[in-house]
Amino acid sequence: MGKPVRIIIIGGVAAGASAAARARRLNEDAEIKIIEKSTYVSFANCGMPYHIGGEITNRQRLLLNTPDSLKARFNIDVYVNHEVIEIDRKAKNITVRDLTSRKKKLTFEYDKLLIATGARHIELPIDGIDAKNVFPLRHISNMDKIKHYIETYNPMTAVVLGAGYIGVELAEQLKRVGIEVTMVEKYDQVMPVLDPEMATVVEEHIIDSAIKVIKNDGVVEIITEGDETPVGVALRLESGREIRAELILMCIGITPEVTLAKEAKLKLGETGAIVVNDKMQTSDKSIFAAGDAVESRHRVTSKSVWMPLAGPANMQGRVAGTVMAGGTATYTGVIGTSIVKITNMAVAKTGLSEKETAEANMDYFVSFSHSPDHAMYYPGATMQHIKLIVENKTGRLLGAQVIGNERVDKAIDIFATVIGLGGNVDDLVNMDLAYAPPFSTVKSPALMAGMIAQNRLNGLDETIMADEVINDDYHVIDVRTASEHESDVVFEESELITVDNLRENIPVQHKGKKIALLCRAGLRSYIAYRMLKQHGFKKVKNINGGYLTSKYALKKDKK
């Protein structure tokens, strides 16, 4: 019997703990050690905002594993409050500092080493950043400090810097505990991962939830008052505006923690993260890396990307653990499936956004749909707003974004499945999905979105965006009801011909003009489009997503 393989993992949480457990399940004889810089080796960092807001009341439920539990169940030696300060690739050992007694150093030899150091929050180089009421949220210790501050000082106002995933989650949870919240976002929209017209839907919901939003502005200084724990601090923004706040949360982003890898001269990619192959091996085949510290192959573009998400981190850890233990596994890459809750709204994305698709120089079109999440005759149905990005000619699904109140996770997971398997809109439409009135519509929102895109792909529909209608001077025919036409105005000079009266009132006087058809969501205007095309109209188009998309694309409010 050979000598047991010595596996050392730097960092716990998602990737590190997942790799350690997987390695043990496959290799009972391996010597496995986890070196974790913080006090906690395995915790649910995605749950931290909800503990701050009180939705998760039991803090212990966020601590998934402890050194004792990992030792008892998996025979894994865990060193918390220990920091790896050097990797000696030639000698195949690491030097570790005991943070409880900084003079004490340990040396461990390895056969296989995994770097799972994750990411660190970006620190702004501004005055006042170290004020006592300014907090990031990356670790359990950050969460504890924020919650302690709220419970001790009862702040009434807060500023959340950054309107990404963590920012909107924290804003919601702070509002939940009665704090007046202002979000400050450097970019010109909230949720920068979304396309603008979808982000506008989210922004409207955030504002309707009594959370203030400031965009196109960043903080340049935090003005503190005195040495005591501050109850009144001002943020000076780039615009010159000042905001008073008793609590400031930094959610401006993270960057891969690659200090050890860089010092060990492991290859880093253009993203700044560690380069790995599909077995999660670095440029040194004895050293693996996984989680937020690595870059991955995007399965749509095949390009290297940095995508710090919990799902990929866990899967990468599993692959690394398998290979380090002597097994066979490959990691196929990421597509970036994500979802976030904002009060009663869910927002999800998978694959490429339209901006990312354009930057990749891909030939594509976009399709919008608005469908109820279950049968309208069954109580409680709400609308799902869906945007698909589809490759021209092939019909390959490149990306999807979904906003709604219920079952958004179901829709986005359907799209993620199709994208992950390299499928097209025909594959999407042909999916055999569960149906009953309380759960879906006969044509589920995902299938309906696919059918609309399929019509476009097959030449049965030609669409146009609202801004193109205005810029290219189209004559707009509104095929909705008279009451809709009067109350929900997007195009002031539109002509009303309801779809049910269109066949008897074909507008032959406009036959040579450029015509754009409008309805609420795009279905009635599609029926009108088919009608007019078969009456010889050559320059007619259907307004993509109807009124429900146009009002956001043009940033117009309902009148």
Residues 6+ apart with CB under 8 A from 277: none
Burial classification of residue 60, based on how many CB atoms lie within 10 Å of its CB (0-12 exposed, 13-18 middle, 19 or more buried): exposed
Cα gap 62→56, rounded to integer Å: 9
Which has the closest alpha carbon to 250: 131, 92, 72, 385?
Answer: 131
Note the pLDDT of residue 51: 96
pLDDT above 60: residue 513: yes
Helix (H) or strand (E) holding 391: strand 383-391
Note the pLDDT of residue 557: 40
Average pLDDT over residues 234-244: 93
Residues 6+ apart with CB under 8 A from 555: 200
Average pLDDT over residues 49-58: 95
Which has the closest alpha carbon to 259: 86, 13, 33, 12?
Answer: 86
Cβ proximity of 342 and 181 under 8 Å:
no
Residues 6+ apart with CB under 8 A from 462: 456, 529, 540, 541, 542
Hey, which residues does 305 pair with through a beta bridge? 296
Beta-carbon count within 10 A of 146 CB: 24
Is 46 one of the annotated active-site residues of the chain?
yes
Question: What's the predicted TM-score (pTM) here?
Answer: 0.94
Domains of the chain: 6-119+255-324 (3.50.50.60), 134-252 (3.50.50.60), 338-457 (3.50.50.60), 463-553 (3.40.250.10)
- Model confidence at 201, in pLDDT bands (50, 70, 90)? very high
pLDDT, mean over the chain: 94
Tell me the backbone φ, ψ of residue 23, rounded to 5 degrees. Answer: -60, -40
Average pLDDT over residues 57-63: 93
Q: What is the pLDDT of residues 87-97, one digit of tens each?
A: 999 999 999 99
Average pLDDT over residues 272-283: 98
pLDDT above 70: residue 512: yes
Average pLDDT over residues 196-207: 96
Nearest 5°: the CA angle 214, 210, 345 is 95
Note the pLDDT of residue 130: 87
Cα gap 520→169, rounded to integer Å: 31
Distances in whole angstroms, Cα of residue 13 to Cα of each of 35, 80, 127, 147, 317:
11, 12, 32, 21, 10
Distances in whole angstroms, Cα of residue 433 to Cα of each of 307, 339, 441, 442, 445:
30, 21, 10, 9, 11
Beta-carbon count within 10 A of 1 CB: 4
Cβ proximity of 317 and 309 under 8 Å:
no
Residues 6+ apart with CB under 8 A from 288: 19, 112, 113, 114, 115, 276, 279, 280, 281, 282, 320, 323, 324
β 93-98/247-250 pair status: unpaired
Q: What is the pLDDT of residues 336-357, one digit of tens each?
A: 999 999 999 999 999 999 999 9
Note the pLDDT of residue 101: 84
Burial classification of residue 204, based on how many CB atoms lie within 10 Å of its CB (0-12 exposed, 13-18 middle, 19 or more buried): middle
Note the pLDDT of residue 556: 46
Average pLDDT over residues 50-65: 93
Hey, which residues does 250 pair with through a beta bridge? 136, 161
What b/e readout covers 313-336, taking b as 16+ CB neighbours within 10 angstroms? bbbbbbbbbbbbbeeebebebbbb
Which residue in 46, 131, 489, 506 is the catalytic one?
Answer: 46
Cβ proximity of 203 and 187 under 8 Å:
no
Task: Check the CA dihedral 224-228-230-231 and report its sign.
Answer: negative
Average pLDDT over residues 196-208: 96
Counts for the chain of helices (H) and strands (E), in that order: 17, 32
Per the model's pLDDT, the better-predicted residue between 329 and 488 turns out to be: 329
Mapped onto helix, strand or coil, the DSSP state of residue 505 is helix
For residue 471, the one-letter residue type is N
Note the pLDDT of residue 35: 97
Cβ proximity of 428 and 395 under 8 Å:
no
Cα gap 65→74, rounded to integer Å: 11
Burial classification of residue 80, based on how many CB atoms lie within 10 Å of its CB (0-12 exposed, 13-18 middle, 19 or more buried): middle
Cβ proximity of 252 and 122 under 8 Å:
yes
Looking at the chain, the whole-number percentage of residues with pLDDT higher than 90 is: 91
Cβ proximity of 375 and 362 under 8 Å:
no
Cβ proximity of 189 and 196 under 8 Å:
yes
Cα gap 98→105, rounded to integer Å: 6
Note the pLDDT of residue 103: 76
Cβ proximity of 297 and 313 under 8 Å:
no
Q: What is the pLDDT of residues 120-142, one digit of tens each?
A: 999 899 988 888 899 999 999 99
Q: What is the DSSP letter of 275?
A: P
Q: What is the pLDDT of residues 106-117, one digit of tens each?
A: 999 999 999 999
pLDDT above 70: residue 226: no
Tell me the backbone φ, ψ of residue 544, rounded to 5 degrees. Answer: -60, 115
Tokens of 284: 């040194």
Distances in whole angstroms, Cα of residue 203 to Cα of each of 138, 189, 200, 367, 520:
24, 8, 5, 21, 21
pLDDT above 90: residue 234: no
pLDDT above 60: residue 288: yes
Q: Where are the alpha helices (DSSP H) in 242-291?
A: 259-263
